Amino acid sequence: MANVLQLLKSKMNISFSSPWIHWTIWLYSGYFLWILLGIFLIYAIFKNTGKIKAICVALCFIASPILPIFTLNALRFTSITSNSGSLPAVLSEIRNYDEGDKRNVYIFIFDEWSYQRSFNNQKLITEFKNLKLFKESALVFHQAFSPSPNTLTSMPAFLFQTNLEFIAKRGVMGFKSEGFHPINQKENIFYHARGLGFYTCIIGSYTPYGDLLGESIDFSKSISVAKRLGDSFLGVSKYHIITTLLLLPEPFIPYERRLITDYFFNRFQINRINATHELFKTIVKNQTSSTFGVFHYMIPHFPYIFNREGHKKLFHIYKLNSSNYYDNLAYLDRKIGEIISVFKKANKFENSLIIMTSDHSWRHDPNYDKDNSLLEKCHVPLFIKMPYQNFSIEINSKFTTSKLGTIINKYLDGEFDPAKTRSIFCDENLFIPPLPN
């Protein structure tokens, strides 16, 4: 165990920062107020007399309390990494993970993966060469749906296996249902495996997994846009200054501004996916105990900079269209091939329960500006490979990914009978209508 912790620590030197809500009115309003009042102040200094100077000075005086309020609210979004900023919890050092039969559960959430774009008449499109091979030994769902059409509500609903709306109230995270229920009052998808002595971990982006899941996970990592800038006052300030470029108004070099901001985001996207994959490889290769892991890969999510060979030119603006999305799907298939290769090299492919799905469909297919069905916006691919499975089964019953915990727990308790697979998934209680947002 000590060797695994040391390896994880070496991988964590990437120094990602992770403010969950980084697009805030505090952030942008604060910086624009500083700029605006700075202009007024400079004008007042160089304008010796006149009514305009008096107005500028008065505006600066009146607005002066607003500036520290807005700025401090922007800067207070510090990073959310592992539990309390540390690597795997102390519990991982005192529990005996060597007991049991070394079963493993791995869930892969590929962000913004569309069923409609991945299948044609229930057949995988040509971009998915590696996924087609995986499909031959997996359950394939044609009517699977995410809990909601966006990550910030879909991932908490998935992790806590609920159809309740995720909200934050007075700084406390929880779910809304005839009142407010804090997250520590609900069981999450790791809860049962944790009780059975599994090593539990989650790697992904944006969502503050450590705060959400607490001691039910040994290791968590959230990766966000504030990459490598750090958590110091200077680091967070640099991050906010860069992201503020996105909101400069139109006559301010719109094309050049977009080119610069896209370049930074393109670089970040590559590093974010690579960081997730490196941590996944470290855990699979070096964790000797039974493992329950969730890995949230930000692909085929925009930016559309990928193809099967890798990434395209970074200093370029890639349009939002289906052709570029299909290129990202081809890269997703390459990544799936790499994931399978890691499992096979570690001799963990056959004996593992492996699930591949998405947090929501492609947000531009269907078009959100039109009155499309909520189900279409949440229609996602879902593949489940049971341990030692060597055949494919097509499932056409409606299924919600926030019910995956039910299936996983049946497997962990030895109650999942492969001979009854179709009847198990015909249960109408395994489908919950998605949340609207």
The amino acid sitting at 12 is M
Q: What is the mean pLDDT of residues 91-116?
A: 69
At residue 1 the predicted structure's pLDDT band, cuts being 50, 70 and 90, is: very low
Neighbours of 71 (CB within 10 A): 19
CATH code of the domain containing 283: 3.40.720.10
Least confident residue range of 162-171, 175-184, 255-264: 255-264
14, part of any domain: yes
314, part of any domain: yes
Q: Cis bond leading into 147, ω under 30°?
A: no
Domain that holds residue 207: 2-18+80-230+253-430
In this predicted structure, the answer to whether residue 256 has a pLDDT above a threshold of 90 is no
182, part of any domain: yes
430 Cα distance to chain centroid: 24
At residue 414 the predicted structure's pLDDT band, cuts being 50, 70 and 90, is: confident
In this predicted structure, the answer to whether residue 202 has a pLDDT above a threshold of 70 is yes
Nearest of 102, 110, 131 to residue 284 by alpha carbon: 102
pTM of the model: 0.76
272, part of any domain: yes
| Crossing angle of the two packed helices 322-345 and 254-286, in degrees rounded to 10 | 20
In this predicted structure, the answer to whether residue 181 has a pLDDT above a threshold of 60 is yes
49 Cα distance to chain centroid: 56
CA quadruple 182, 186, 190, 194: dihedral sign: positive
7 Cα distance to chain centroid: 23
291, part of any domain: yes
239, part of any domain: no
Q: Counting Cβ atoms within 10 Å, is residue 286 exposed (0-12), middle (13-18) or buried (19+)?
A: middle
At residue 109 the predicted structure's pLDDT band, cuts being 50, 70 and 90, is: very high
Write the secondary structure of the chain as one string of H (helix), E (strand) and C (coil): CHHHHHHHHHHHHHCCCCCCCCCCHHHHHHHHHHHHHHHHHHHHHHCCCCHHHHHHHHHHHHHCCHHHHHHHHHHCCCCCCCHHHCCCCCHHHHCCCCCCCCCEEEEEEECCCCHHHHEECCEECCCCHHHHHHHCCCEEEEEEECCCCCHHHHHHHHHCCCCCEEEEECCEEEEECCCEEEHHHCCCCCHHHHHCCCEEEEEEECCCHHHHHHHHCCEEEEECCCCCCCCCHHHHHHHHHHHHHHHCCCCCCHHHHHHHHHHHHHHHHHHHHHHHHHHHHHHHHHCCCCEEEEEEECCCCCCCCEECCEECCCCCCCCCCHHHHHHHHHHHHHHHHHHHHHHHHCCCCCCEEEEEECCCCCCCCCCCCCCCCHHHHCEEEEEEECCCCCCCEEECCCEEHHHHHHHHHHHHCCCCCHHHHHHHHCCHHHCCCCCCC
Greater model confidence, 336 or 99: 336
Tokens matching residue 374: 């909520």
pLDDT tens profile 72-98:
655 554 433 333 333 233 223 323 333
Q: Which range, 60-64, 178-182, 232-236, 281-285, is most confident?
A: 281-285
pLDDT tens profile 293-338:
999 999 999 899 999 999 898 888 888 889 999 999 999 999 999 9
184, part of any domain: yes
Nearest of 307, 333, 304, 334 to residue 320 by alpha carbon: 304
Number of folded domains that form the chain: 1
Q: What are phi and psi of 43, to 5 degrees?
A: -60, -40
392, part of any domain: yes
Tokens matching residue 77: 């979004």
